């Protein structure tokens, strides 16, 4: 039997939640909201573990790669990710307020429903403690692999990541539609669910336009450096873009991304190195989506859109999402801790963020992998220029 796509399941969850909130007895709506409340507590508990599970192996995996090429690629990918998020904030902070302020949108932290049962599940680590711990262990394991060949901790952290991925794939993702249903049942009970959906449909349109515009900028810069046609190079990456829409995973799209990138006459060794690495560390599309949605949700909650706070969020987001693209929805799962600790989002807001992100995850992934081709072209162009300079000295 064919499995129902996640986006369709989320849509069913949203519709079901609205119907329950509008037409069912309050006790049924409260029961659904109770599940949402408890599930939200579980998400708060699992977030630091997600950070540890994604970042430690991600940093440790860099240990057996080429030094200078590795550093250049990671720096280019990180700068691209942060620039994408910053640009998204600058655009969204000017356009989204006109959309939100003109509507009567429900605050996801407020509503008429109360949970039957209140449950506290305290995380083992705070968000910043998890980040610092992940860096210490990631760099330490990286050092051990390069200098002693000891891979016991490396194997352990990869097995830990496998467990967390299993929790995401077998527990969190399957129950997300029910979780989102509870959020929208609460919104429907307050009478503003339809207006909220209308607002976010406009936000989605803005996000996709920003994805496409940022890809044009990436390929203009990469094409200029590599001496190639930006539009023709971008056209060659269309198969990777369309494949990513279907897979919703940068890692699963790597073979097609490689094939598409090599059509742009990128050195094969460079492509074979940069594209798989880019699938792990380059998340411009995901950052645009998360930042724009975060601006919208912050506005709904009345949280000030301070540039310093959002830039702090974006800068750390580019790090916490390392190795997350192998899991559909992994980027937003890794971002949950920052949404709560830096932007001050509560359970309802983070649940809404998950639903909003996953509803268009395929387009963010498509922007990520298409941008990987631009990074590879940029790195190849730099390599050729350095080679020419060396020959002339």
pLDDT grade for 221, boundaries at 50, 70 and 90: very high
Rounded CA-CA distance 10/13 in Å is: 5
Please, which residues have CB within 8 angstroms of residue 234's CB and are 6 or more apart in sequence?
215, 216, 219, 370
CB 372 within 8 Å of CB 250: yes
Domains of the chain, start order: 6-386 (1.10.3860)
Ramachandran sector of residue 119 (left: φ over 0; alpha: ψ -120 to 50; beta: rest) = beta
| Cα–Cα separations (whole angstroms), residue 330 to 33, 132, 225, 321, 326 | 24, 20, 32, 8, 7
Is residue 304 packed enough to be buried (19+ CB in 10 Å), middle (13-18) or exposed (0-12)? exposed
- Where residue 24 falls among pLDDT bands split at 50, 70, 90? confident
Token pair for residue 198? 């209308």
Count Cβ atoms within 10 A of the Cβ of residue 139 and give its class: 0-12 exposed, 13-18 middle, 19 or more buried. Answer: middle
Q: What token pair was written down for 357?
A: 């992100």
The CA R_g of the chain, rounded to the nearest whole Å, is 21
310 pLDDT exceeds 90?
Answer: yes
pLDDT by residue (tens digit) across 131-166?
A: 788 878 888 888 888 788 778 888 898 899 889 888
Q: pLDDT per residue over 177-197, tens digit each?
A: 888 888 888 878 776 667 777
Average pLDDT on 325-333 reads 68
Determine the Cα–Cα distance for residues 283 and 330; give it in Å rounded to an integer.
11
Report how far residue 113's alpha carbon sits from residue 348's, in angstroms, rounded to the nearest whole number: 12
């Amino acid at each position: 039997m064919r499995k129902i796509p996640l986006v369709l399941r989320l849509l069913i969850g949203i519709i079901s939640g609205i119907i329950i909130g509008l037409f069912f007895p309050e006790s049924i709506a409260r029961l659904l909201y109770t599940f949402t409340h408890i599930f939200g507590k579980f998400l708060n508990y699992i977030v630091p573990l997600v950070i540890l599970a994604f970042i430690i192996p991600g940093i440790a995996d860099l240990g057996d790669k080429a030094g200078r090429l590795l550093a250049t690629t990671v720096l280019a990918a990180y700068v691209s990710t942060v620039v994408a998020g910053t640009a998204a904030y600058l655009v969204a902070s000017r356009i989204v307020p006109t959309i939100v302020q003109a509507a009567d949108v429900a605050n996801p932290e407020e509503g008429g429903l109360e949970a039957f049962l209140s449950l506290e599940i305290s995380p083992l680590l705070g968000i910043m403690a998890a980040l610092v711990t992940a860096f210490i262990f990631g760099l330490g394991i990286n050092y051990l692999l390069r200098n002693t060949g000891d891979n016991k901790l490396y194997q352990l952290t990869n097995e830990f990541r496998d467990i967390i991925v299993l929790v995401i794939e077998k527990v969190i993702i399957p129950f997300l539609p029910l979780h989102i249903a509870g959020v929208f049942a609460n919104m429907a009970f307050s009478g503003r669910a339809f207006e909220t959906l209308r607002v976010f449909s406009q936000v989605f349109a803005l996000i996709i336009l920003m994805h496409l515009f940022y890809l044009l900028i990436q390929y203009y810069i990469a094409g200029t450096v590599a001496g190639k046609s930006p539009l023709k190079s971008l056209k060659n990456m269309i198969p990777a873009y369309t494949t990513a829409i279907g897979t919703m995973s940068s890692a699963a799209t790597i073979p097609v991304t490689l094939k598409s990138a090599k059509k742009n006459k990128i050195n094969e060794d460079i492509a074979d190195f940069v594209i798989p690495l880019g699938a792990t560390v380059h998340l411009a599309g995901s950052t645009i989506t998360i930042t724009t949605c975060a601006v919208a949700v912050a506005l709904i909650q009345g949280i000030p859109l301070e540039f310093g706070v959002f830039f702090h969020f974006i800068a750390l987001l580019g790090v916490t999402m390392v190795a997350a693209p192998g899991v559909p929805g992994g980027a937003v799962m890794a971002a949950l801790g920052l949404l709560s600790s830096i932007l001050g989002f509560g359970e309802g807001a983070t649940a809404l963020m998950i639903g909003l992100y996953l509803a268009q995850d395929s387009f963010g992934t498509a922007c990520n992998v298409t941008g990987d081709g631009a990074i590879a072209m940029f790195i190849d162009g730099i390599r050729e220029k350095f080679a020419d300079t060396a020959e002339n000295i």
